[in-house]
Every structure is written in structure tokens, then in C-alpha cells.
Structure 1
Amino acid sequence: MKFSDRLNNLPPQFFAKLAQNVTAAVAEGRDIINLGQGNPDQPTPPHIVKAVQEAAEKPEMHKYSPFRGTPEFRQAASDFYKRQYDVEIDPDTEVAILFGAKAGLVELPLALMNEGELMLLPDPGYPDYLSGAGLANVKYEIMPLLAENNFLPDYRKLTEEQKQLAKLMYLNYPNNPTGATASLSFFEETIQLAKKSGIKIVHDFAYGAIGFDGKKPVSYMQAEGAKENGIELYTMSKTYNMAGWRVGFAVGNKQMIEAINLIQDHLYVGLFPAVQHAAAVALTADQTCVDDLVKLYEQRRNVLMAECKRIGWDVTAQSGSFFAWLPVPAGFTSEEFTEFLLEKADVAVAAGNGFGEYGEGYIRVGLLMDEERIKEAISRIEQLGVFLK
């Protein structure tokens, strides 16, 4: 039996290949320090776990959820945006419940674009953005994210044709993989572009809680006029260590939210109500657990940066997310250096070119191991002699 053209057009699953390489090395009995993953290593906070346990015992939770999510969860998302960002969100028309933010990102081209239309994607960027383009059979062109522009797209480099033809633009700050953050003025510039061109903006705010050096990441929704042409996707995975729970939400433009809801009406029935209840509890309860998590990641980042500099690795500390974007030493491509580290040091990292053409020359390192394992990883790399002090 042949697969459909739609499946055959999908890009290779970058993270699946990365996991396979690490699994194979572990199967050989090697002590692999896996800094290539994006899976939070801390448990879900106890009060959230307790919430789902108690909810799961209630018979009313065992029925189908409302197609468009429980009123409790949608209201919690609205309250969260008011409390965290002072943004008013209508829980009935400006919130869409997602089966994880990834699902929303992949669905959106299917919901908002016709075959052959153009979308603009950041490069380097989250590889699964390409999955949405492939499934919808739409064209995409890249916006390079360069160090000299603080890993922000330079809208002056967009052609008039791109501005006229593009229907959808994806952004992601704090950024995966670079760890860069965006300012309110950048989002205001983005909104002006959207107004003039008619491009719809999708801001992937997966790492929205994780900002360092006393600076809270800015929400796209905080910029005046954001709702006119854009939405923002938020996931519970990173803020509350709920990656396996597969729950998130989108907020913003009513028409775009309705498009998500409509396609999900046909793809799903509804997320388990007990999970939605626990997500609502996470959003509305005391946020000390989030503050503690951000402190943990910042401590790990500081250890990683100090250790890299100690061995002569010229690195720059990222301002958000739980990733570091590190330059590859001379004489290696991103993929060669990644293979070299796994083979010679038993350290797994993600090759930068897996995130796009402009990821070449970098590797992505996750802050998802304790400080001692991070130190051990850099010590192993030091023994390879590729950096000069």
C-alpha cells in the first residue's frame, strides 16, 4: 500500500532521528549525556497532579468534553493573560484549546491557507513548522535569523512580492533554537507590517515564562493592535512541566481562533476534561513553581556559560528559553561536530542545520540536565582539545 502524496511530502522528523541516535548509543552501554533533547526534566508540580487525580475520580469528567473546550479552561486562559500581561481576552471568542501547541502550529496552514499559497517561516526555527506547510501543500520562504540582528527577522529584507503574497508568518520568542527574546517595539513593527500587507501573524510563545536576568519575555498580545491580524500560542509543557499532558491554547484574532476551532471540530471531539481542569488550576494557582523553575534554568545556563568559557569556547548567554545556541569550532560543520561529540565524548547535542539553513555553524544545547551533568559534559568536550584557552 502506498502512502498518500501528503505524507510523502512531509519533511523527515528531525527529533525522531536525534532520539534514535541517542537510543542506539545507550543500547551499547554508553553513558550518554543528552543535551540535545527538548523534554523538560522536572516533574509536573504536585498541586497540578493532585488536581487531575481528583478530577479523574468524578464521573462527569468521563464524558466527552465540549468540542471547543471547557468554559473553566477558556476562562482560566483569559484570566492568565489579564494577570500576566494585562491583556483582555474574551474566553468565548478569543481562546482555542489545543492538543499541545504543536497541534495548533501544524493545523493553522490547513485552516487558513489554500494549496500553493505562501507562508513565511523563521530560519533557524522549530522543525515542525515545516510539517504544517507540507500537510497543507503550501509554499514557504524563510526569514533568516542572524546573530548581527539579535536573531530577529529583518523585515527590510522582505521583497515586495513576499509582502504581497504571504498569507501567514510564524514567529517564536523566546526562540527555539537560539534562545533570543523579542522586544515590544519589534512586535509593534511586526503589527505595522501585518496591517500594510494583510499577513496574518502566528506567535509561538511556547517558552513565554522563561526569561533571564530579571527580564520577563514580552507577549505579542501586549502590542497595540495585535488582535487585528494575529494570534499567540501558549503551551503548558514548558511553563508547568506538562509536556506529556498535550495541552495548550491559542489567544487573539477571533477569525483565526474560529478557524482553529472549526478544523478541530472535525479532527477531535475534545481533550479529557480532567486534564483541562488541571490546566486551569495551573494557570490560576500560585505561580511560585514557575518562578522556581525559571531560577533553576538560569542557574544551569550560568553554569553552562561559565564552563564553556573556561575551556575557551566563545559563547553568548541566551536571554530566554531553556536552550543555548553555541557556535561550532572551526573545521566542523554542525552535523560533523554533533557526530563527533556523540562518538568521542558521549555527549548528545542537536545539530544547528536541523533547524534550517541558517542554523549551520551552531549546535543547540538544552538546559535539561542537572548542573553536575552539564559540568561533566563540558569536561568531556574539553578533553577533545578542539578549543584553545
Structure 2
Amino acid sequence: MSKWQSKRLAELGSAIFSEVAQWKREVQAGGVDVIDLGIGSPDRGPSDRVRAALAEAVSDPGQYGYPTSEGSLLFRQTVAKWYRHRFGVELDPEREVVTLMGSQDGLAHLAMAVTDPGDTVMVPDPGYPIYAASLVLAGVEPYFLPLRAENGFLPQLGEIPEETARRAKFILLNYPSNPLSAVATRPFFEELVRFAKRHDLLIVHDVAYSEMAYDGFRPPSILEVEGAKEVAVEFHSLSKSFNMAGCRIAFMVGQPDAVQALRILKSNIDYGVFLPVQRAGIAALEEDMEPGSVSVAGLYERRRDLVVDGLRAAGWELPKPQATMFIWAPIPPGWTSRQISREMLYSAGVVVIPGDAFGREGEGYVRIALVQEEDRLQEAVRRIGAFLQGAGQCPGTNSQ
């Protein structure tokens, strides 16, 4: 390590992502047409209306001053209207909404705003890497909640040691889940709110994939639960739902004291989201509230069916997720997550992410992102099927 790098840098994120990127470069250098199903970045742009709003705003010279760190009041008011429309939840845009430069911005900073060094925070394993990385930045001790298939990838709240629950400052969860594609229903959130109130805990819920659900399922907000706003905040992002990942706009809503804490921290760090991007975000939310609006869910449901059905036909029995842009795929016996991800890339030219990139409990899985058009996904399915057959290895066999 360079003397100009702090020790905490070695604890941030997962080296696996860098390793996979290096594999990809090596394979591409050999002239292989690589199909990247790794990083969950939407492959389409936002709607015409959103792009038009952005174009109009960037042409206005009055939009280039410093924005406010908490976000424009108009954007926060639109968020409140959207939450009422989508979840039936009432929010005070002045006290219960803060605008973010992407949900990763808020997730990275929240622990610094609401905890002190040496505190304990409960985070999911597997989980999105920023969850644990944010605790490193804040000097906070993680308590990893194992999320396993036999429990529907839900934490077993009754198995958390009483001392840990008493000591923890907040519990962070994510449904629909990245990387697990798992979902939670209102009864679980009701249990979680009771648990938080019993132990004087803040709940931090990342609901960025709420608009990417299938088969008629409509993911709830935890704030729908009576009394949840007393103990819970929720992150939402326009990145995936509205194909605005590069715009960097999101928001956190809920418990007013926690919202204010994040606002105070951010007022010392940045000046907020570029005003034209907020205008584009307003256009996206307003369009979504109109009768007959079309969400991205249908697109990803078709892609999910294509990939899962295709790989099942090739002999790989995969669960069919109810939400997100990911498939959390149990790997064939005889491999580790990293081994099969590497071999799939070098032999078939398809990038997937090893499950252990998301935590110890991720070993035995790979994450497949549905971020290519259907013809490319069909080609990826063909290649993966040929790779598995060539290796003599499909789930359910005992070779290798």
C-alpha cells in the first residue's frame, strides 16, 4: 500500500469487481465479443419527456448557480406527491425528504450522520457493497445478518442476539434486493417496525427496485406501516426505474431527525444536485403518475423470462425472481463462485459477478444482470448453455 493511501481504503468495497474488470479486459484483448451481464447499469435512456425537460433546463443560463444541498423544494414536493400516488404515504417535503446525488451518495454518508465511531450497525450479507463500506468510513462495527434461501433471503430477527439488537444504532435492509432479487411483504415490514421500536433502532430501507417487479407483485414501502415514520427512513433512486443512472439523482425520505442529520452532513460536503437534473427528475416522476404510464417492469420481465427459461432448457435450474434487474443464480456443484465466473468469461465470453463479491453468504451463487437487449441475452444463454454442457456440469449433476 502506498503511504499516501489510508488503511481504510483496503477495507472498502470488494476487490472482486476490479478482478472481474481485469478478466474482461484480457478476454477482449484476445478479440472476443464479450457480453457483459455484470454491472447493473440500464442499457436504455430515459423517456423523450425526461430528455426534453433536461435539454430545456440546460439551455437556461439561470440554472447554473449553486443548488441547495437538500434539493429544490419543487423536486421534494414532487417526491412527496409520487410517494402518495405510489404507496399512499404522506410526506412533508420540508422535513421528511432530502435529495441525493444517487442513492449511493446517501447510503455512503448516512452512517456518518447518525452514528459515532465504535457504534454497531446491522447490515445484510449478501448485500450491496456500499452498505458495509459506509460503516468503514464512519468507523462503525458491522453485524452481518445472514440472508439464506431457506428463509426466503429474509433476516431472522428472532435470532439476533439481544445484546446486539440493544447496542445497534440502525438496521439496513433492501427489498426488492440487490443482489438477491428477493422481496419482502408488508407483514415482514410490520414485524421489522415492531422490532425496531422494541430496541430503539432506526430502520434504513433501500427500495430502489420497487418499480421493477413482475407477475403482478407490487413491492410495498416500509413507510406504509403505521408508525414506521417514527423509526424508518427509505432510499429511492431514479437510476433504475427511469433509466437515469448517469444523472445521479435520488432521495431519502422518512424519519425527520434522520433526514435532518443527513441534510446537515451533506451541507458540509456538497451543494446538491445540478438543477437541470432535478428538473428532469420532476418530469420523470410526473410522467409516472399519469394514467396509462408505462414502467420499465415489462421490459425486464420479458428479459427475465428469456434468460431463466433459456437456461432451464439448457439444464440450469434457476429460480424466477419477482423483482429487480438481476438473477441470483445458484451455481453447479464442484465450482466456487469466482471459478465459474472466470471460466464462463474466458470460455463463453459472458460476464457475471461472483456471489462472494456481496459477502460471505454469497458464495455458491453468481449474479446475472439483465442489461442487454433480447438478441444479446439469447446469445448469452446459448453461450452459457454450451459452456455448461462442455464442462459436463449443470446443476443437479455430480460430475466435475
TM-score, with structure 2 as normaliser:
0.94
Post-superposition offset of 1:21: 2.8
Post-superposition offset of 1:290: 6.7
Name the CA distance, whole Å, in 1 between partners of 2:288 and 2:258.
Answer: 31
Name the CA distance, whole Å, in 1 between partners of 2:146 and 2:374.
Answer: 32
Paired residue for 2:128?
Answer: 126
Q: Deviations over 1:62-110 (max 9, x none)?
A: 1111232111100010000001111000000000100100010010111
Say if 1:324 and 1:8 are closer, same or farther in 2 by CA, change over 3 A. Answer: closer
Paired residue for 1:293?
Answer: 296
The reply on whether 1:349 has 2:361 as its aligned counterpart is no
Paired residue for 1:381?
Answer: 384
Post-superposition offset of 1:292: 4.3
Q: Deviations over 1:103-140 (max 9, x none)?
A: 10010111111111100011111011121011011100
What's the secondary structure of 1:260's corresponding residue?
A: helix
Q: Deviations over 1:143-183 (max 9, x none)?
A: 11111111111111100111111111111011001111110
Paired residue for 1:189?
Answer: 191
Name the CA distance, whole Å, in 1 between partners of 2:160 and 2:206.
Answer: 21
Paired residue for 1:219?
Answer: 221
Which aligned pairs between 1:69-80 and structure 2 lie closer than 5 A? 69-80=71-82
Paired residue for 2:284?
Answer: 282
Which aligned pairs between 1:175-254 and structure 2 lie closer than 5 A? 175-254=177-256
Give ranges in structure 1 of 5+ residues lacking alignment: none
Say if 1:233 and 1:13 are closer, same or farther in 2 by CA, change over 3 A. Answer: farther
What's the secondary structure of 2:171's corresponding residue?
A: strand
Say if 1:77 and 1:13 are closer, same or farther in 2 by CA, change over 3 A. Answer: farther
Say if 1:85 and 1:67 are closer, same or farther in 2 by CA, change over 3 A. Answer: same
Name the CA distance, whole Å, in 2 between partners of 1:85 and 1:194.
Answer: 21
Post-superposition offset of 1:311: 1.1
Name the CA distance, whole Å, in 2 between partners of 1:214 and 1:347.
Answer: 30
Post-superposition offset of 1:8: 4.4
Paired residue for 1:303?
Answer: 306
Q: Deviations over 1:341-362 (max 9, x none)?
A: 0111111101001111111111
The reply on whether 1:102 has 2:104 as its aligned counterpart is yes
What's the secondary structure of 2:38's corresponding residue?
A: coil
Name the CA distance, whole Å, in 2 between partners of 1:136 and 1:209.
Answer: 31
Say if 1:17 and 1:93 are closer, same or farther in 2 by CA, change over 3 A. Answer: farther
Kept after mapping to 2: 8 A contact 1:323/1:364: yes
Kept after mapping to 2: 8 A contact 1:209/1:290: no
Say if 1:290 and 1:348 are closer, same or farther in 2 by CA, change over 3 A. Answer: farther
Post-superposition offset of 1:313: 0.8
Kept after mapping to 1: 8 A contact 2:327/2:368: yes
Name the CA distance, whole Å, in 2 between partners of 1:364 and 1:9.
Answer: 22
Per mean C-alpha deviation after superposition, the further-off stretch among 293-302 and 282-291 is 282-291
Post-superposition offset of 1:376: 1.5
Kept after mapping to 2: 8 A contact 1:232/1:251: yes
Percentage identity across paired residues of the two chains = 37
Q: Aligned match of 1:330 in 330, 333, 345?
A: 333
Kept after mapping to 1: 8 A contact 2:50/2:280: yes
Aligned residues: 389
Paired residue for 1:45?
Answer: 47
Paired residue for 1:363?
Answer: 366
Q: Aligned match of 1:173 in 172, 175, 182?
A: 175
Name the CA distance, whole Å, in 1 between partners of 2:336 and 2:7.
Answer: 32
Post-superposition offset of 1:18: 3.1
Paired residue for 1:269?
Answer: 271
Say if 1:242 and 1:20 are closer, same or farther in 2 by CA, change over 3 A. Answer: farther
Post-superposition offset of 1:25: 2.2
Give the AA of the match of 2:23.
N
Give ranges in structure 2 of 5+ residues lacking alignment: none
Name the CA distance, whole Å, in 2 between partners of 1:251 and 1:338.
Answer: 37
Say if 1:60 and 1:234 are closer, same or farther in 2 by CA, change over 3 A. Answer: same
Paired residue for 2:317?
Answer: 314
Paired residue for 1:160?
Answer: 162
Name the CA distance, whole Å, in 2 between partners of 1:290 and 1:231.
Answer: 27
Give the AA of the match of 1:299.
R
Post-superposition offset of 1:293: 1.6
Paired residue for 2:5?
Answer: 3
Q: Deviations over 1:318-346 (max 9, x none)?
A: 11001001111010011111011011111
Name the CA distance, whole Å, in 1 between partners of 2:317 and 2:281.
Answer: 40
Give the AA of the match of 2:286.
T
Kept after mapping to 1: 8 A contact 2:235/2:253: yes
Q: Deviations over 1:248-274 (max 9, x none)?
A: 001000000001100000000121111
